[in-house]
Amino acid sequence: MVRLVYLARLRDAFGTAAESVDLPGNVGNVTALLEWLARRGEPWTHELAPGRAVRVAVNHDIAGPGTPIRSGDEIALFPPVTGG
């Protein structure tokens, strides 16, 4: 079980701010998670398509494609930041 958090444009697109999901055993890193989510169909497929600017944080740290994901993690998906 992991906690998925969606922020800003992605929260609007997905219609939810957070969800808890059981990941299949082969979803062990950020790339695999994004591919798995994209297979849910729209709006996931569109928003997470290759070339869309999506940032991922695992447990409040910015993550890369290969960052591992483990049960209990909080994984946030969000667009490039625009504060300041």
Partner 1 sequence: MSVRVQQEDFDVGREIAQLRASTRGVGAVASFVGVVRDLNDAAQIRTLTLEHYPGMTEKALERIVVEARQRWDVYDILVIHRVGVLKPSDQIVLVVVTSAHRGEAFAACEFVMDYLKTRAPFWKKEMTPDGERWVEARASDDEAAARW
Name the residues that contact partner 1, by CB under 8 A.
5, 7-9, 12, 53, 57, 60-62, 76, 78-84
The least CB distance from residue 81 to partner 1, in Å, is: 5
Residue 34 or residue 56: which is nearer to partner 1 going by CB?
A: 56
- Rounded (5°) CA angle 58-63-59: 15
Q: What is the DSSP secondary structure assignment for residue 5, as one 8-state letter?
A: E
The least CB distance from residue 35 to partner 1, in Å, is: 23
Residue 38 or residue 57: which is nearer to partner 1 going by CB?
A: 57
- 31 burial (CB, 10 Å; 0-12 / 13-18 / 19+) is middle
